Each structure stands twice: as C-alpha cells, then as structure tokens.
Amino acid sequence: MVDRLVNSEANARRIATVENCFGANGQPLAIPGRVLVGEGVVTKMCRKKPKTRQFYLFNDILVYGNIVMDKKKFNKQHIIPLEEVKLENLEDDGILKNGWLIRTPTKSFAVYAATATEKTEWMAHINKCVEELLKKTGKKPSLEHAAVWIPDAEASICMHCRKTQFTVLNRRHHCRKCGAVVCNPCSSKKFLLPAQSSKPLRVCLSCYDTLTKARANQGDSPVKPAEKSVNQDSSGEDDSEDEVEETGKADDPIKDMDNLSIDEKPTFYGDTTEPATEVNHPTSCDTSACNAGTDFSVCDAVSSNDATTCRADANE
C-alpha cells in the first residue's frame, strides 16, 4: 500500500512540506524511494515531563521535532533509522495511557497517543514499515537497545543508595545501562557500551558491577584506561538532546499531561484500510486521468506508476 505512493506527486509534495516546516533546522528528507507514511502529534516522555512532539513516519525513518507553530514550524529535528527501531507495548498507568516504547540501540523513550485507536494505528504502521524495511535490506533487527530513562520526577532520592536527596546542587544523573536516576557518587564510573557510543558512558554502581563481571567472564582485561571515574565537575554531559534546554521551574508532570491538547488525529497516507474521509487529501488529484474533481473523499491520489487507474475511476 505504501509502494504505490513512491514517485507520486502527492508524496513528493508532502515531503517538501515537512522539509519546509523544519526549514533550516532540518535535514533534506526527499530521497528516491522514500515515502511519507503518516504524521501526527504524539506525547513524548522527556526527562522532565511529557511533551507534545510532531512525528513523521516514513518508510525508512521516523522523524520528530518540537512544535514551534502548530502544523507550520518545527525545530529540534530527530531522525531515527527504522531498521534500528523496536516497539514495546506499555500498559496504561494512571494518566499515562495509550503508550508504547520506541527503542533503538542509542536512545529509547516512551510515547503516548491521544486514544487507544491512535496508539494501535501508530504501532501497526511503524511495525509494518520496520518489517518491510528489514525484508528489503536483508538486515537483522537490532537486539541491544538503550535503556529508557526514568523521568526525573519519579525519583526524589537516588535509586541506588536510597540516601542522597536530589537538590539543585545534588543533581540527578541517569545510568546509561539501566536508566535509573542516581546521584553522582553512585554513578561515578563509566563503561563502554558500544551499541550506544564509542566513548565510555556513565553507569550506576550496580550496572558497573554486573558489566565488569560479565566482561571478566569473557576473559577481557579487567580495567581499560578509558573506564576511569567520571570527572566530578560533570558539565552537563548527562543531559541528552531535547531534554537539555528546558531550564525552567520543575513543572508538575501530572498537570502538564492534562493540559496537553492533542485534538488532531494522526494521518496515514495510502492506507486503504482506513475510511477514505480520514485521509488528508491534497488540494487536487495528482493523476492527470483522474475524474474525481474536487471530491477527494473518493480520489486516493494514486501513484504515477499507474496513472490511469485512480480509485475514483476504478470505482465507477
């Protein structure tokens, strides 16, 4: 179903629109064979709190960014290769509903859709794209995935020593192996986690133990020079990407979750299993042979591979 969108003008136009929305903040996205499969607003669990993010699902990458102006301007573009993606279902937990994990070797995080239906749609479309991409490239799915970071607000004390109370001075750190929120002394060691980085990363003392033992069993040298202690004046290396810039007050995550307004349903293109009215059609049919006129509820903007069989025509 995605295949017939390849080379279609509608697809090219949608991708150009996405590029425009990111402007100079984004990468060029139009490459041969790439199809925009769907788009929509999803709530991403960030380090401090849940935040709305614009997501674009292509047949080979997942792109998301911060919403500067709804439907018009986005920044902080992130591009995730789909062949590295593995989804995991999340059970509803209080106000955190309709969620799932997006896991990759370098970064894993939780996202939440507005409704159970939207969650099902997103997961099904992403999984299908991953599956088809792996089939096409012959690659194997990634087995090792980065830990999902536990949000700061869930730990007022260190999850390792259970003593250190976090304050402005006693900053929170995240173990890159298990995602736990720990204090500086409890995460003073680094360990090489090749799937995530070429440099050794901060890990908690429990993980350091486990990792060191595992390596000893593999017969490697016990201590590599790179795995020295973390500098005491860790200068913000702990903060990752879009979680960094927010230096404002510690908002109440519960309150923010309630205030999120995701009234727009996600849109998936060329999906014949969806009612035609759910598809966001362009202002005119792409196909020169199309007789659908302005009745885009029947026109499906067919690909140029088969320009004479617009669905509107085929249905007559």
Residue identified by tokens 């992403």 is 126
As a whole number of angstroms, the distance between CA 233 and CA 231 comes to 5
CB 174, min distance to Zn ion, A: 9
Of residues 78 and 215, the one with the C-beta less far from Zn ion: 215
Question: How many other CB atoms sit within 10 Å of the CB of residue 308?
Answer: 11
As a whole number of angstroms, the distance between CA 232 and CA 135 comes to 47
Of residues 114 and 186, the one with the C-beta less far from Zn ion: 186
CB 207, min distance to Zn ion, A: 3
Residues 148-187 touching Zn ion, rule: CB under 5 A, are: 158, 160-161, 164, 175, 177-178, 180, 183, 186
CB 195, min distance to Zn ion, A: 15
CB 162, min distance to Zn ion, A: 7
Of residues 175 and 301, the one with the C-beta less far from Zn ion: 175
Total residues in contact with Zn ion, by rule CB under 5 A: 12
Of residues 162 and 255, the one with the C-beta less far from Zn ion: 162
Residues 192-221 touching Zn ion, rule: CB under 5 A, are: 204, 207
Would you state the structure tokens that stand for residue 154, as one six-digit string? 């869930």
Of residues 44 and 189, the one with the C-beta less far from Zn ion: 189
CB 107, min distance to Zn ion, A: 16
Of residues 193 and 312, the one with the C-beta less far from Zn ion: 193
Residue pair 22/74 in contact by the 8 Å Cβ criterion = yes
Residues 91-130 touching Zn ion, rule: CB under 5 A, are: none
Question: How many other CB atoms sit within 10 Å of the CB of residue 201?
Answer: 20
CB 91, min distance to Zn ion, A: 23
**Binding residues for Zn ion, per CB under 5 A?**
158, 160-161, 164, 175, 177-178, 180, 183, 186, 204, 207
